[in-house]
C-alpha cells in the first residue's frame, strides 16, 4: 500500500489521516471494549455463582432423600464375629445374634498322583448349575495333538511366506517349496531358528502319543469348559504329589458340585518321586450354608453376607460366636450433614456478595443484576420460613441464624446439639417435611431449580451475553471496514490536493523565472 508523503506540498498527510481516523474510531472502539468487558465480567460472575448453586443443590438433593438426615449406626459388642451395616429402614434397638455356622464352598479332590505324572486314558464328569462337565482323556489327547499339528503347519507357512517375500519367490511358482527351502538353508541362523521351533511342536506331538496328557492340560480343559463357570480346578502340590482339586466358586449348598462320576478308570504313567499309585476322589470341604440364631429363629444364607437379614440391617459373618448389635441414631453424622448444608449455603451468599458489592474504584459485575437479587431474596425466604408446628420448626430454633453483615448463616452448636437430642423427629420434619407438610428441602429445590437446570434464569442470561459479545465482534468488524473506507477516502482527497499544490508551485516557479 502506497502511503501519502506529501511530495508536492511537503506535508505529512499520512499522520494527518491517522489522527483523523483515530479520533473518529476511539469513541466507538472504547464503547465496544467497555461493553465487551462488562459482558465477560458478568458472564464469569454468573458462572461462578451457578457453580456454587450446583454444589449446594447436590447437598439439598441428598438431604431431601432422607438418607443423610435419618442416618443410623450400629455398635457391636464383638466385631470379630461379624460386621453390620444399617440403613434408614432399620428400627433402633438392640439385636442379639449367635453365628452357629459359616457358609462354605465345596472343595473336592478329583485325584492325586506323583508330580510329573501323565494320563493316557480315562473319562470323568461332574455337574454344575450350567450343566455337565465331561473330560475324556483320549479325546483330549487327540484334540491337543491336532492343535500342535496345526501350530506346526501355521509356523511353517508363516516362515515360508517371510522367506519368499525376502527372496522374491512367487507362491504360484511350481518350485515354490524347493526354492524357499534353498533360500532358508542359505541363512544358517534362520534355518536353525525354524528347525528348533518345528522340533518343539514335534516333541509335544511325540509326548502326547507316547506319554499322554499332563495335569495342567486336564486343568485347562476343565476350566475352559462351557459349563464350568461355577466350578474351577486347581492343582495343589505337597511332598512330591499333586492333587487335582475342584472348587465351587460360591458358598452354600445350592452351589455344591454335582455328583462326580468316573466313567472309565484313569490310566496314569506315574512320574516324579511322589506316590507310586493314584489316589481317588475324596471330599476336602463340604458345601454348607451360613446359620445365625436370632433368638429362637434360625436365619439361613448361602453366603456369609446376609443382606437385610432384618429389615434395614445387613450382616457380614466372620466367625462363630455371639454378638450384640445396637442400632441408634447417628447424631454426629446428622450434625455434620447440617453443618455442610450451612457451609454450602454460605458459599452462595459469599460469592454473590463478591460480585454485587461495588467499591469506590469499580462497579461490581452484578451490581445491577435483578435476577441475582431475586434469587438471594427467595433463598432467604426459604431459610427464614416456619415448617410444622413444633417448637423446632425454624432454623433459628435449631441455633442456625443469619449474620446481619453479609447474610451468611452461623450455628450455635450447643443449641443444635440439644435440638437433635431432645426432638430429633422435629428436626427431621423441618428439613424433610411430612405427609401434609412440605419441608425446607422441597422448598429449596424449587428455588434452586430455577437457577440450576438447563434453560434456567442464569443459563438464559449467559446465553444472551454470549449473543451480545458476538454482536460486538460483528460491530467491531463493521467499524474496521468503515475506518478503512474512511482512510482510503482521505488519501484520495489529500492526493488530489497535493497534486493541485504541486501544479500551483510549478506555475509560480515558471512566472518567477520569466520575470528574472
For the four alpha carbons of 168, 171, 174 and 175, in that order, the dihedral sign comes to positive
- Tell me, what's the pLDDT at 1? 47
> Is residue 4 over pLDDT 60?
no
**For 404-420, how does the pLDDT look when each residue is reduced to its tens digit (9 = 90+)?**
888 999 999 999 989 88
Closest CA to 265 of 138, 142, 115: 138
> Is residue 482 over pLDDT 60?
yes
Backbone phi, psi, residue 225, to 5°: -70, 145
> Is residue 35 over pLDDT 70?
yes
> Is residue 2 over pLDDT 60?
no
C-alpha dihedral over 123, 128, 130, 133, to 10 degrees? -10
Phi-psi region of 388 (alpha: psi -120 to 50; beta: other; left: phi over 0): left
Average pLDDT over residues 84-106: 92
- Tell me, what's the pLDDT at 453? 64
pLDDT band at 516 (very low <50, low <70, confident <90, very high): low
**For 359-400, how does the pLDDT look when each residue is reduced to its tens digit (9 = 90+)?**
767 778 888 788 888 889 999 999 999 887 788 889 999 999
**For 215-260, how does the pLDDT look when each residue is reduced to its tens digit (9 = 90+)?**
999 999 999 999 998 899 999 999 999 999 999 999 999 999 988 8
pLDDT band at 7 (very low <50, low <70, confident <90, very high): low
CB of 418 within 8 A of CB of 411?
Answer: no
pLDDT band at 5 (very low <50, low <70, confident <90, very high): low
Give the H/E segment covering residue 222.
helix 215-223
HSE at residue 344, side-chain half, CA atoms within 13 A, is 22
Average pLDDT, the chain: 88
> Is residue 194 over pLDDT 90?
yes
CB of 290 within 8 A of CB of 326?
Answer: no
Average pLDDT over residues 152-180: 92
pLDDT band at 274 (very low <50, low <70, confident <90, very high): confident
Backbone phi, psi, residue 497, to 5°: -65, -40
Give the H/E segment covering residue 283.
strand 282-285
> Is residue 19 over pLDDT 60?
yes
CB of 169 within 8 A of CB of 180?
Answer: yes
pLDDT band at 286 (very low <50, low <70, confident <90, very high): very high
Backbone phi, psi, residue 189, to 5°: -65, -45
Average pLDDT over residues 49-63: 86
Break the chain into its structural domains and give their ranges: 13-68+332-462, 72-103+289-329, 107-285
pLDDT band at 278 (very low <50, low <70, confident <90, very high): confident
Q: Which three cell numbers stand for residue 66?
A: 432422607
Closest CA to 84 of 295, 325, 287: 325
Q: Which three cell numbers stand for residue 191?
A: 534355518
pTM (2 decimals)?
Answer: 0.62
Amino acid at each position: 500500500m502506497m502511503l501519502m508523503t506529501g511530495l508536492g506540498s511537503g506535508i505529512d498527510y499520512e499522520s494527518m489521516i491517522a489522527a483523523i481516523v483515530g479520533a473518529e474510531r476511539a469513541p466507538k472502539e472504547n464503547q465496544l471494549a467497555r461493553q465487551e468487558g462488562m459482558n465477560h465480567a458478568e458472564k464469569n460472575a454468573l458462572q461462578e455463582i451457578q457453580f456454587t448453586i450446583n454444589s449446594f443443590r447436590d447437598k439439598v438433593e441428598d438431604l431431601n432423600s432422607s438418607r443423610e438426615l435419618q442416618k443410623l449406626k450400629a455398635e457391636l459388642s464383638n466385631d470379630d464375629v461379624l460386621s453390620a451395616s444399617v440403613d434408614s429402614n432399620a428400627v433402633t434397638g438392640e439385636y442379639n445374634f449367635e453365628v452357629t455356622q459359616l457358609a462354605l464352598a465345596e472343595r473336592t479332590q478329583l485325584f492325586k498322583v506323583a508330580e510329573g505324572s501323565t494320563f493316557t486314558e480315562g473319562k470323568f464328569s461332574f455337574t454344575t448349575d450350567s450343566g455337565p462337565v465331561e473330560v475324556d482323556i483320549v479325546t483330549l489327547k487327540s484334540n491337543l495333538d491336532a492343535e500342535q499339528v496345526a501350530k506346526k503347519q501355521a509356523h511353517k507357512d508363516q516362515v515360508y511366506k517371510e522367506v519368499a517375500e525376502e527372496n522374491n519367490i512367487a507362491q504360484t511358482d511350481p518350485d515354490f517349496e524347493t526354492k524357499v527351502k534353498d533360500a532358508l538353508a542359505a541363512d544358517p541362523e534362520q534355518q536353525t531358528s525354524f528347525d528348533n521351533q518345528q522340533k518343539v511342536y514335534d516333541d509335544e506331538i511325540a509326548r502326547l502319543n507316547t506319554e499322554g496328557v499332563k495335569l495342567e492340560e486336564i486343568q485347562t480343559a476343565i476350566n475352559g469348559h462351557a459349563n464350568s463357570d461355577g466350578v474351577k480346578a486347581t492343582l495343589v502340590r505337597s511332598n512330591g504329589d499333586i492333587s487335582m482339586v475342584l472348587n465351587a466358586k460360591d458358598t452354600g449348598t445350592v452351589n455344591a458340585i454335582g455328583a462326580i462320576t468316573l466313567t472309565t478308570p484313569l490310566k496314569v504313567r506315574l512320574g516324579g518321586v511322589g506316590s507310586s499309585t493314584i489316589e481317588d476322589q475324596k471330599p476336602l470341604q463340604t458345601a454348607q450354608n451360613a446359620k445365625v440364631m436370632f433368638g429362637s429363629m434360625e436365619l439361613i444364607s448361602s453366603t456369609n453376607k446376609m443382606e437385610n437379614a432384618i429389615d434395614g440391617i445387613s450382616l457380614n459373618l466372620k466367625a462363630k460366636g455371639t454378638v450384640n448389635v445396637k442400632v441408634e441414631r447417628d447424631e454426629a453424622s446428622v450434625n455434620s450433614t447440617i453443618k455442610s448444608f450451612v457451609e454450602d449455603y454460605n458459599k452462595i451468599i459469599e460469592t454473590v456478595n463478591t460480585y454485587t458489592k461495588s467499591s469506590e474504584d469499580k462497579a461490581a459485575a452484578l451490581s445491577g443484576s435483578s435476577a441475582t437479587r431475586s434469587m438471594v431474596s427467595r433463598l432467604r425466604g426459604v431459610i427464614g420460613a416456619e415448617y410444622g408446628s413444633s417448637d423446632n420448626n425454624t432454623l433459628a430454633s435449631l441455633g442456625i441464624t443469619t449474620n446481619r453483615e453479609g447474610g451468611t448463616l452461623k450455628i450455635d452448636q450447643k443449641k443444635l446439639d440439644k435440638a437433635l437430642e431432645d426432638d430429633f423427629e422435629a428436626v427431621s420434619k423441618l428439613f424433610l417435611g411430612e405427609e401434609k407438610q412440605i419441608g425446607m428441602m422441597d422448598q429449596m429445590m424449587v428455588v434452586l431449580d430455577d437457577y440450576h437446570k438447563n434453560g434456567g434464569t442464569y443459563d438464559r442470561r449467559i446465553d444472551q451475553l454470549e449473543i451480545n459479545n458476538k454482536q460486538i465482534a460483528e460491530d467491531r468488524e463493521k467499524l474496521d471496514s468503515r475506518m478503512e473506507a474512511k482512510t482510503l477516502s482521505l488519501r484520495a482527497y489529500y492526493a488530489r490536493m497535493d497534486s493541485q499544490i504541486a501544479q500551483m508551485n510549478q506555475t509560480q516557479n515558471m512566472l518567477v523565472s520569466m520575470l528574472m
